[in-house]
Copies of this chain bind each other. A is one copy, B any other.
Amino acid sequence: MTPTPPAHHNHPHPEQHLSSSATLQDIVIGLSDGLTVPFALAAGLSGAVSSSALVITAGLAEIVAGSIAMGLGGYLAGRTEVEHYAAELARERREVQEVPHVERAEVDELLAEMGLSAETRARAVAELTADPEQWVRFMMKYELGLEEPDPRQAPKSAFTISSAYALGGLIPLSAYFVTDTPAQGLLWSAAITLVCLFVFGFFKSRMTGQPAVAGAFKMTFVGALAAAAAFGVAKAVGG
């Protein structure tokens, strides 16, 4: 459910680049889960109940629950990231001021890990620590591996993930609206959803530079397996 974040290349406009790839990533997260979990739940219930209305009720409850959990969860995680960055920044600023020798030794250690000689390190440490703000930025990025998060990203992410999840979830559920029995609904739901998962997996893999057909089969397989397992369990328990 948590796809690998795309690599952050160092482009001339990193913020713009990051922001658009973050939105795409949010759509991918929401759609993958939305197409999979509500589909599998509805499929599972189809094996255990005789009323399409019940499958629809449970499916909609799941979509609402999942999109709030994902959206609000994503929003709070984003806010936490902003707070975490601010706290670490304050700590680094304090340490650069209060224990500069410790921080200078840390810069030296990082440069040694890169493979620089003692002589070059001595010059580099002097230059990097000449300006306190530059020094702090260096520690944040290279010691802690933290990039400054955009505070406007969290609410945007929440909205994108929620909407994508709800949209993804309505696709498998739509089949139960237009058919008469859960069995018929399941047939159409599986047909529509597996095609969507295949197409979506194809483009998702292509977007992240992975082998596209393999990615399409993987995503379809996850959805099919989740649905089959949910069907089996619901049948055993309640069918």
Contacts and interface: CB of A to CB of B under 8 A. Distances in A.
B116 A128 contact: yes
A233 B60 contact: yes
A198 to B, nearest CB: 15
Contact of A33 (B1, B49, B77): B1
B134 A77 contact: no
A138 B114 contact: yes
A183 interface: no
Contacts of A119: 123
Q: Is the interface of A mostly helix, strand, loop or mixed?
A: helix
Which of A37, A74, A84, A146 has the largest count of B CB atoms less than 10 A from its CB?
A: A37
A32 interface: yes
Contacts of A138: 114-115
A195 interface: no
A99 interface: no
Nearest to A57: B238
Contacts of A60: 233-234, 237
Contact of A115 (B44, B72, B134): B134
B225 A68 contact: yes
A233 B60 CA distance: 7
Contacts of A40: 61, 64-65, 68-69
A61 B87 contact: no
A190 interface: no
A140 to B, nearest CB: 10
A111 to B, nearest CB: 8
Contacts of A110: 10
Nearest to A141: B114
A77 B144 contact: no
Contact of A65 (B36, B64, B215, B238): B36
